[in-house]
A = this chain, B = another copy of it.
Amino acid sequence: MAFQDVEGKLESDLYGTGQVIEDFQKKMAAFLGKENAVFFPSGTMAQQIALRIWCDQKGVKRVAYHPLSHLEIHEEDGLKELHQIESVLLADQDRVVELEDIEALKKDVSCILLELPQREIGGQLPSYETLVNISNYCKSKDIKLHLDGARLLEVLPYYKVSAKEICSLFDSVYLSFYKGIGGIAGAILAGSHEFTQESKTWKRRYGGDLISLYPYIISANYNFDKRATEMNRYYTGAIELAELFNSCTRITTRPLQPVSNMFHVHFQASKEKMETILKELYKESDIGMTGNLREVNNKEAYFEVSIGDQYEVIPKEKLKKMFELLELKMHQI
């Protein structure tokens, strides 16, 4: 679908140049309110590069972020192995980063990375006031603030601000195109002209300056236009669905009331038990809940929900019946 309306004569991007990539980068820079933006094959690459640039600029090879940051748990220690950058972990892993955590830092850091929403704890958010305070604090201490905005669009309905407004609090911003937006892959890194120019050099060093990135760019652009305006609908859906889960015995969502299109569903029952229940439920209700149930300990299991276009496709009556069935099963444990 993304390619259906593309002109056959549109030329491929070529090592970061050409209309297809430059136009999209300009569009994203304007949307995020930054001087410039660079398209990357992945957020992993984009964010490591952002942190490296800030470390080089300050001459301090240390950054700080949440203990469950993508960089800390999903990247095989790329930041440390490729850049020898030390990470200081902010806050307990069960809550979001607050100003106090940053004020309590004992060592100087070049950059602080904030992930909005904090995915691994169900997509929680600090207050907007906290963001403003952190931003001001970092400015006063010569610490760069980087936004892991993989799901940036998804938090705008809760904060009730524009992407530009949030991004103005940060020196650099990363945005993903295959989360709520639903592209194939790819990311944008945005910031000042100088910062983005330097990021292009690193992109080449990483082997991320592909001869052609258009399959990702065209799908990113198509899906951005399609879904950027739908985030409020997803957010409302998440609140509604979380309420239904919370009305069941032995089920709690995290956060209790979602602040984006995502949340985690926690069951006070073993993973094994819950697998049996969810399989039965799928057979009886024809609604599949997850393919990725995770164990917390022997007594608890959870899965992640991200609301997109599919949620509203389920008839409300059918959903209600499924929850009645689920409640019956949870009650009988």
Residues of A within 8 A of B (CB): 12, 40-46, 48, 74-78, 81-83, 178, 184-185, 201-202, 204-216
Contacts and interface: CB of A to CB of B under 8 A. Distances in A.
Contact of A43 (B76, B207, B212): B207
A213 B184 CA distance: 8
Nearest to A82: B82
A201 B76 contact: yes
A244 to B, nearest CB: 28
A78 B49 CA distance: 12
15 contacts: A42-B207, A42-B210, A44-B204, A45-B207, A75-B204, A75-B207, A76-B202, A76-B204, A78-B204, A82-B206, A184-B211, A184-B212, A185-B212, A207-B208, A215-B216
Given A185-B210, A210-B42, A210-B185, A78 B215 contact: no
A207 B206 CA distance: 9
- In the complex, the count of this chain's copies comes to 2
Contact of A207 (B78, B201, B214): B78
Contacts of A207: 40-46, 48, 75, 78, 206, 208
A8 B225 CA distance: 24
B208 A42 contact: yes
A215 B83 CA distance: 30
Contacts of A77: 205
Contacts of A201: 76
A48 B207 CA distance: 9
A77 B201 CA distance: 10
Given A178-B212, A211-B178, A81 B184 contact: no
Given A215-B184, A215-B216, A45 B78 contact: no
Contacts of A76: 201-202, 204-205
A187 B177 CA distance: 23
B211 A185 contact: yes
Contacts of A78: 204-207
A82 B205 contact: yes
A206 B204 CA distance: 12
Given A41-B207, A75-B204, A185-B210, 18 more contacts: A12-B184, A40-B207, A44-B204, A45-B206, A45-B208, A46-B207, A76-B201, A76-B202, A76-B204, A76-B205, A77-B205, A81-B205, A184-B211, A184-B212, A184-B215, A185-B212, A185-B213, A206-B208
A187 to B, nearest CB: 9
A215 B178 CA distance: 14
B75 A41 contact: no
A74 B205 CA distance: 9
